[in-house]
Amino acid sequence: MASQEDEERAARELADELQRLRVEDIVIQTLVTVSAIGYRGLGLTPDTKDARDLSQAKLAIDTMTALTPVLEKVVPPELVRDFNSSVANLQLAYAGVAAEEAAAGKAAPDEPVEEPQSEASEPPPQPEDSEEEQAGG
């Protein structure tokens, strides 16, 4: 059983660790984790094929696209370039997998089967940019 002293010591150690952490450290670790989850969601390897989840891959792309610019003023430019490169690679792979699934008759998240992406480098369409809304529908 943990004594009162052990619990207090653990609380102090946690407080000390939190004081040393910087927000950018957490954002960097989050981006690394989100990238890994995104690649897993693409199901590109035999080990991840059964875990394919394009909605998770799309969410990873969107999350990385939103968070990476936040780091530009606080981390080395090389790190930002690495994250931007990872986003671009995820987008290209997503487009390939979405096209593959469309050809197989499966719709990718937020993408109708009959309207596949025209450019592999374009990110998945956003709901607020839909042509129906722009046309007033």
- Entry pTM: 0.68
pLDDT at residue 117, as a whole number? 40
Q: What is the pLDDT of residue 106?
A: 74
Question: What percentage of the chain's residues is helix, strand, coil (to nearest 5)?
Answer: 65, 0, 35
Task: Tell me how far apart the terminal alpha carbons of the chain are, to the nearest angstrom.
Answer: 64
Task: Extract the residue ranges of the chain whose pLDDT is less than 50.
Answer: 112-137
Is 43 in contact with 108 (CB distance < 8 Å)? no
Return the pLDDT at 61. 98
pLDDT digits (tens, 9 = 90+) for 102-135: 998 876 555 543 333 434 444 444 444 444 444 4
What is the predicted pLDDT for the residue at 46?
95
